[in-house]
Structure 1
């Protein structure tokens, strides 16, 4: 009797596993959406080692040359909420359209828990969520699909690098005209040098190369912080503290920052002419 019960249990378990392994696309018979390609090259992998977090703020520390008219593909294998990646003016803000591939962690967790409970090995199917995200100004549109088993696009990963003619920048301070009309930021410009000096002393670090570039004939210019002397976590800390430092009359305000995902961006290196970059630190 015990032998019959044992074989009945095994039969039920095999049936359960088989049902779990039916590919979603095959089971539903629905074709993939038009935006989902059969293969993708230059896919950018985001893993936990590529990102850091302070509070609810993230820094994804991967160099990406952002082109508004190109479609990018990211594979998210890090613990970052998908909804946060969709927001404009945050995650690679100059990218208007991208595909986001995310492993179905809920499915993998169920399989792992069941295998542990039963003391057996269950080989999960490759199961991903695919998101098509378009950002146009403040408007964000998202479509998604779920594939388990067969039907996944073929993926070739990129090896992100900084082009030789580009400067990788983590923070930019921009100043408008000194006179006509006067940019209020000029009234506190002297605070920048004090902030950097105190920051380096307090943190016992050197932030790294900083450059200035002219943008106009009335004093307009930008300051680019490469933060080359800092770790990823130190870079995120610098960005947050610098944002706070730039607020005028902060003592009289109830300041609440919205959580963001910060990313580095590229600036073309200018070696000659009016817009020649000058190293200031």
Structure 2
């Protein structure tokens, strides 16, 4: 009886602490859902109720409740063009990094992947660091080599963007913003156009990651969003530095 009461009291204390954590601003539903340290209280009625309350903050749940992209009239905006590979600055990037060698002799998709992996593996990632250098691919690379410090996701994406443009790929870097206007975090990735597939592809040089469906088709940002919204299966490339659970269900959802 004493042993039973001891564990009963411990469970009540654990549930109470969990409730207080939510009250004080804890919002990580996915972590609570998968944290094995909470397994012994999952059947407690107050924990079940608290978990339901926590779900309202879940990024994936919020995404699944959201609508599609909203189209906007762009007639009044300046005509957008991509810098050509013959640009003097892009030629300097191509020659500095020897991008022909990095890209390799394979098909278009393998070149896109190889260049992304180079940025992922050759320049350390540090999401909290703002590089104190000129904002271009060569200077970001030299900054890392000179200081040993990593660069953040925006600077990584800017670096990859210049390399893609230098190799003749249409490319842009895209800031992924949270729906919660109180959440100041964001993540920056690349969207590069593959002529052979006639589509844009999601490339993330911070984590060495791209996203695929069950048939190994590489996906665009919009396609990843739709798959997440519709609870369709997704997977990451084998070379990625992160887990699918953290990356898709929390970090970018």
Instruction: State the TM bucket, normalised to the shorter chain.
Output: under 0.3
* Higher RCO (CA-CA < 8 Å; seq separation 6+): 1
- Decide which structure has greater helix share: 2
